[in-house]
Structure 1
């Protein structure tokens, strides 16, 4: 037999189902199963089963049948204000989530490499400042790929297309990478930069490992490991070394064009790679992330 005045602490909270609790709440507030079913746009038998399931979960009787409909038991009366507060909290949570999805205010994190941060982002950030002044952009600069699935960033620009199915990617542009050197240094390698003798050149690289040398080998250029005289894992430091005349290195054509006295050396074809804007699937529901992503597409694709 039920204990009408059982304390709320006796309820089996571990098996609590909000769908059933909502059925109880609407039934209590409308006074009948039929009115509650209409309010929740479901059949009366379905609603009745949800209320009965809620009573079974809690181990109490919540309603008594009376001639004019339903009457709350003492346990139901005791429970009602708590469930009503939960309903209000759920409504507020939905409003907050909706605001987060539609507002262009708050923070959003963009992960990019040093080169992209220094030479590609200015028009993107300037445009967002005009169109979404309440948006705070945090630029996370790293030459390692951030893990969007772990939310290390909201959006990233990568030099490869992601393979994870839960990421959304858009190709921004293709880049051509050539060999460059400072004019004065190039002049020491031959009569003109196009015919530079790179067999006696010093090279500047991100490392002296096989990947870069293999890429150069595909161009017909065999570079010995000992020729890599300056190394740095920083893209910008490598670019500064090139400008300072320390040797020959690779740079995207767009970046080299903004760096003053650098000249292309050798008559080798370019190495190509693509830039991709990448975001988590929240891109589809968050106005903040969508605004940043769309701005990257608009201003870096050109």
Structure 2
């Protein structure tokens, strides 16, 4: 079929695209914020308009038919074009009121953004803030967020990025834990302690052994992908963790472990799409984040 000669309803095409990407109507409905029956009707309407079957059901999942595969590439191009149009339109907006979405790690979201959001509410009460607390990298080009706070330099050419701060992270544990287990005086002493891992123990272990710590997998009794969960575990006397010093210093019951050990450098990068950076609303939030995160008085 010559897809270029067919006129699409974008809502139907988007329903098809997201269903193909998610693999089921229920997942696609959640992604689009629609009910499953509504999404199903949109996909069915597209199939009826084209006179083809786009999906086959396999168990609880959907798989693309050959016609679906052929259509998918065309609809992906439409989706990319729609994203570019949305970015351009948002970038031209000079309205202050509206929504700005920030993506940051869970610990940065919980502890570092709070004073900044208080300032923003006083400066621009009409801005609605959406915080995505995630330790994965949000795709700014796909509008998963308007602004991202990252600890690695963004590489995409369409992004505007600024290094606003470099800080350090250190080992911390609760004073109760250290009173019970002892305070390490050397790197070798760390082998007698328990650690919280933020990744698979074998991957996390290499990071520490490369830094000169004689640890083994047996030192990692707990693993979590959440910085907040890990920090709470350590606050409850379950081991040692690496944490940014500005956050750790908020908790007087916590103590830096082996202060003589070389600290880990943690950069703070702010990134946004270059077209969004021309939006007055997003520029205001971006600049406030940059000013506050770069301040010596980061926590106010």
Query: TM-score, with normalisation over the residues of structure 2?
Result: 0.64
Equivalences for 1:207-286 in 2 at 5 Å?
207-266=199-258, 267-286=260-279
Range moving further from structure 2, 147-156 or 181-190: 181-190
Question: How many residues matched?
Answer: 206
Partner Cα distance (1:193, 1:286) in 2:
51
What's the CA shift for 1:295?
Answer: 0.8
Q: Which residue in the other structure is 1:91 paired with? A: none
Q: Are the aligned partners of 1:193 and 1:264 in contact in 2 as well (CA < 8 Å)?
A: no
Partner Cα distance (2:214, 2:150) in 1:
28
Partner Cα distance (1:129, 1:142) in 2:
23
Q: Which residue in the other structure is 1:204 paired with? A: 196
Range moving further from structure 2, 181-190 or 223-232: 181-190
Equivalences for 1:1-302 in 2 at 5 Å?
101-190=93-182, 192-194=183-185, 197-266=189-258, 267-302=260-295
Give the direction of change, closer, same or farther, for the CA distance of 1:285–1:155 in structure 2 (3 Å limit): same
RMSD of aligned C-alpha atoms?
Answer: 2.1
What's the CA shift for 1:203?
Answer: 1.1
Partner Cα distance (2:222, 2:201) in 1:
13
What's the CA shift for 1:282?
Answer: 2.1
Q: Are the aligned partners of 1:202 and 1:247 in contact in 2 as well (CA < 8 Å)?
A: yes
Partner Cα distance (2:185, 2:257) in 1:
5
Give the direction of change, closer, same or farther, for the CA distance of 1:249–1:124 in structure 2 (3 Å limit): same
Q: Are the aligned partners of 2:194 and 2:219 in contact in 1 as well (CA < 8 Å)?
A: yes
What's the CA shift for 1:218?
Answer: 3.3
Give the direction of change, closer, same or farther, for the CA distance of 1:133–1:99 in structure 2 (3 Å limit): farther
Q: Are the aligned partners of 1:109 and 1:138 in contact in 2 as well (CA < 8 Å)?
A: yes
Partner Cα distance (2:120, 2:199) in 1:
36
1:16-56 per-position Cα deviation (integer Å, ceiling 9, x unaligned): xxxxxxxxxxxxxxxxxxxxxxxxxxxxxxxxxxxxxxxxx
Give the direction of change, closer, same or farther, for the CA distance of 1:212–1:274 in structure 2 (3 Å limit): same
Q: Secondary structure at the match of 2:181?
A: coil
What's the CA shift for 1:244?
Answer: 0.5
Q: Secondary structure at the match of 1:251?
A: strand
Asked which structure has the greater CA Rg, the reply is 1
